[in-house]
Amino acid sequence: MNESMQEDSVLLAVHQGVVHRCARRSDGTVDLVAPAGTVPSRDFERIEDGSFVQRISESLPEALFTLRIRGIEHPDPLLGYLAPDPQTMIVQVRHQVWPGRQEEDLLRFPQPIPQDDDAAEPSISSIVTDLSVSVVAAAPTGWQRISIECHAMGDQVTLRSRVTLDDDAVHEWSPPAMVGQWFHRLRLVSYRPSLGAWFTAKYELKRGAPATVEFGDEFPEDGDAHDCFSDLWTLPRHARAIPAAMAQGALRAYEQSASTDRQNLGNETAPQDKPYTLLARLFDGFTNNDRPYVYRPAIAESEKDAILSFLDNGRVVLSSRGYTADLLHPERESLVPMAFLTDGRWVWPAAVAYYLRQHGIALAPDFVQHIRSSGYRPPKSVPRFALDRASAMAMGRPEPEAVPWEDYDRAAYALADMASRFRVSKRHYGIGRVKDQAWCMVRAGDRWAAFWYSETEDRREMEHVFDTVGQAATYIMGQLWQNYPSLQRDSDELLETYEVLDVPIPPSPPLENFEQFRYVKVSDLDVEQFGPPTSNLVYVPGTTVEQIVPVLHGDDSPRRLRLTGEWTVVSCVTQDGETRPGGVQAYILPQATGDYLHWGQIVELSAADGS
């Protein structure tokens, strides 16, 4: 289950029938490097070191695997290599890499296949012929006989090849990586749902004679537990066709994964890479006459309907009323629906279901694994981030995130505004970050998590995860409304500008001319107002016109006023100006002073009265 590369292995991809060196990226893509000496297509771009690279979804290559060659140093895996002497031993070890596989996907034990659920015995003669063509094309000069022994189970395939030369000397040989790919194809295609697949294949080719292949179904005594599990996951069998040792190995691997998962319960999870979406490939490639081909294990009838249900019930992200050509129809009639669907992690064309239903074309194995791990059930909802990413992938466009983040800005504004109106301290809510003793809303992959956080116990309480930031903000606002009496600001707590609900009314100068905002309670307070009674900004008595922030327009002569009774007002001070120092005490009232004069809550004083 561990797909990490060993130091002496190289990552390769088979795409459109060509083996490429490649580099895997954290965003779900791989960079394919065009083989040296070839003329790359226009899809490849030249980079600084002179090589040509094409970036594609890591699910689009027919195969993605690491290759390690024991017995020789630094061989070119794209080319064959003959051992220098009969004593040198060479073994190729290939390890499959599964796009999109996550550890939690493997916490579901593989389901066996019903006994009577089987496919017709597949024809493999054409694959053996193509394998021989690949072997002969790379065979060492002077070869007379080539024998290749392949051992395969789970994610691992090993090859040991021997070449008899015209002097009867037998040398071991490392064939090109494409030869190993043909054995991988051979095993997938020869799989039968109720019987599984072979564990060993012995291939022999003599000059001037047809190739022979013998398959062995005996379970290897040294079978790795994780390979047992993976083999049953990729190529499920009927229970009677599972060797006892294989079942025991799979159970040990499952037990180990489940035990590790239990041990990690309650532990802080490591930060995850940014989520990405994989594109399910329709075919593995095309022949020279543009006919599609696939090398995939058959889908058991017992799970075919479940897979089709999954495919049909994804969220549509792109659709068209028209139809495109059926590439397997004799006359290529336009019968295939044009649409793309997603479950948030994968996006697939509607044609995938069409070709499975009409022609029995199996899905790509990595996509089938994903569907099995989901229990054949698409999610009830898909996050906005994932929908937008899937839509962009379906249209071949870069991933957009502007629209979801615009949603974030609106949700953050609404949440902060609601908290301000209920005088909830900003200490008790966190937007986009985690705070102690606060209701927090943070992004969790493609979704949004909302919870109460206690730093002392490092614990999240009442946590819920939502598909959209608006849903998360609504949940937090509900919690603030329910608990606001215990979340109030301190009496001397400074406010951010956005928390000030009572702002200066023109012609008073705008809020950005002031600072150190806080709500205070006052009673029978004398103040000075500069400007007409249509404004709501006042200063402490004794303030001069030279000290104030200038009124925008109109008369700025002062008037002495008294706020009678008890009041809650915004206290602030002026900021430094170009020609005046700041720090002058001011107050912002909820409404214009003229309204309060009319209601008798403010009285106008003479200079003598206010002294």
- Residue 34 CB neighbours (<10 A): 20
* Closest-CA residue to 299 (of 198, 368, 249): 368
Q: With contact defined as beta carbons under 8 Å apart, do 54 and 32 qualify?
A: yes
Amino acid at 578: E
Helix (H) or strand (E) holding 184: helix 177-190
Token pair in block for residue 104: 């939690």
State how far the Cα of 538 lies from the Cα of 543, in Å rounded to an integer: 10
Token pair in block for residue 41: 């297509």
The model carries a pTM of 0.82
Is 101 a residue whose pLDDT tops 50? yes
State how far the Cα of 341 lies from the Cα of 343, in Å rounded to an integer: 7
Say if 273 falls within a structural domain.
no
With cut-offs at 50, 70 and 90, classify the pLDDT of residue 16. very high
The predicted-structure confidence for 270-301, as pLDDT tens digits, reads as follows 555 688 999 999 999 999 888 999 999 999 88
- Measured at the CA of 56, the angle between CA 50 and CA 57, to 5 degrees, comes to 150
The predicted-structure confidence for 363-401, as pLDDT tens digits, reads as follows 999 999 999 999 999 999 999 999 999 999 999 888 776
With cut-offs at 50, 70 and 90, classify the pLDDT of residue 330. confident
Section 496-509 average pLDDT: 92
The percentage of residues in the chain with a pLDDT greater than 70, rounded to a whole number, is 94
The predicted-structure confidence for 141-192, as pLDDT tens digits, reads as follows 999 999 999 999 999 999 999 999 999 999 999 999 999 999 999 999 999 9
Cis bond before residue 365 (omega within 30° of 0): no
Say if 569 falls within a structural domain.
yes
- In terms of domains, do 544 and 449 share one? no
Amino acid at 373: S
Give the pLDDT of residue 112: 85
**Among the three residues 486, 518, 546, which one is the final residue of a domain in this structure?**
486
- In terms of domains, do 180 and 324 share one? no
- In terms of domains, do 199 and 175 share one? yes
Question: Where would I find the beta strands (DSSP E) of 455-513?
Answer: 459-466
DSSP 480: H
Helix (H) or strand (E) holding 402: helix 402-421
Give the pLDDT of residue 270: 52
CATH number at residue 35: 3.30.500.20
Give the pLDDT of residue 272: 59
With cut-offs at 50, 70 and 90, classify the pLDDT of residue 1. very low
Give the pLDDT of residue 8: 76
Q: What is the largest CA-CA distance in the chain?
A: 126
Give the pLDDT of residue 3: 47
- In terms of domains, do 217 and 312 share one? no
Long-range pairs for 258-261 at CB < 8 Å and ≥24 separation? 258/107, 261/103, 261/104, 261/107
* Closest-CA residue to 372 (of 96, 59, 106): 106
Token pair in block for residue 247: 């079942």
Token pair in block for residue 579: 């020609």
* Closest-CA residue to 476 (of 462, 490, 488): 462
At a CB cut-off of 8 Å and minimum separation 6, what does 262 contact?
none
| Radius of gyration in angstroms for the set of CA atoms belonging to the chain, rounded to a whole number | 36
Say if 526 falls within a structural domain.
yes
- In terms of domains, do 481 and 573 share one? no
Q: With contact defined as beta carbons under 8 Å apart, do 268 and 278 qualify?
A: no
Please give the mean pLDDT across all residues of the chain.
91
Amino acid at 226: H
Is 269 a residue whose pLDDT tops 60? no
67 burial type by CB count under 10 A (0-12 exposed, 13-18 middle, 19+ buried): buried
Give the pLDDT of residue 29: 94
Is 120 a residue whose pLDDT tops 80? no
- Residue 454 CB neighbours (<10 A): 13
State how far the Cα of 75 lies from the Cα of 84, in Å rounded to an integer: 13
Say if 572 falls within a structural domain.
yes
State how far the Cα of 380 lies from the Cα of 59, in Å rounded to an integer: 24
State how far the Cα of 304 lies from the Cα of 285, in Å rounded to an integer: 23
Helix (H) or strand (E) holding 200: strand 200-206
Of residues 472 and 552, more confidence is placed in 472
**Among the three residues 215, 235, 263, which one is the final residue of a domain in this structure?**
263
- In terms of domains, do 536 and 569 share one? yes
Q: With contact defined as beta carbons under 8 Å apart, do 18 and 134 qualify?
A: no
- Give the 3-state secondary structure of 231-295: HHHHCCCCHHHCCHHHHHHHHHHHHHHHHHHHHCCCCCCCCCCCCCCEECCCCCEECCCCCEECC
Amino acid at 293: Y
With cut-offs at 50, 70 and 90, classify the pLDDT of residue 609. low
Say if 1 falls within a structural domain.
no
Is 608 a residue whose pLDDT tops 50? no
The predicted-structure confidence for 310-328, as pLDDT tens digits, reads as follows 999 999 999 988 899 999 9
**Among the three residues 432, 460, 486, which one is the final residue of a domain in this structure?**
486
Give the pLDDT of residue 575: 94
- In terms of domains, do 467 and 536 share one? no
Residue count (the chain): 611
Q: With contact defined as beta carbons under 8 Å apart, do 316 and 341 qualify?
A: yes
Look at the block and give the residue holding tokens 């024809």: 123
State how far the Cα of 525 lies from the Cα of 528, in Å rounded to an integer: 10
- Residue 117 CB neighbours (<10 A): 15
253 burial type by CB count under 10 A (0-12 exposed, 13-18 middle, 19+ buried): buried
Give the pLDDT of residue 505: 94
Per DSSP, the three-state class of 233 is helix
- In terms of domains, do 596 and 551 share one? yes
Q: Of the ranges 73-77, 232-236, 367-371, 464-468, which one carries the lowest mean pLDDT score?
A: 73-77
- In terms of domains, do 474 and 562 share one? no
Give the pLDDT of residue 268: 57
Of residues 118 and 351, more confidence is placed in 351
With cut-offs at 50, 70 and 90, classify the pLDDT of residue 2. very low
- In terms of domains, do 464 and 357 share one? no
Phi, psi of 339 (to 5 degrees): -160, 160
Give the pLDDT of residue 109: 84
State how far the Cα of 579 lies from the Cα of 203, in Å rounded to an integer: 93
At a CB cut-off of 8 Å and minimum separation 6, what does 424 contact?
480, 484, 487, 488, 489
Q: With contact defined as beta carbons under 8 Å apart, do 187 and 197 qualify?
A: yes
Which range of residues forms the domain containing residue 95? 10-263
Give the pLDDT of residue 4: 46
Say if 198 falls within a structural domain.
yes
Domains contained in the chain, number = 4
- In terms of domains, do 324 and 473 share one? no
Q: With contact defined as beta carbons under 8 Å apart, do 419 and 426 qualify?
A: yes
- In terms of domains, do 323 and 453 share one? no
Say if 5 falls within a structural domain.
no
Say if 4 falls within a structural domain.
no
With cut-offs at 50, 70 and 90, classify the pLDDT of residue 548. very high
* Closest-CA residue to 187 (of 229, 227, 152): 152
Q: Are strands 18-24 and 10-15 parallel, antiparallel or unpaired?
A: antiparallel
The predicted-structure confidence for 418-462, as pLDDT tens digits, reads as follows 999 999 999 999 999 999 999 999 999 899 999 999 999 889 999
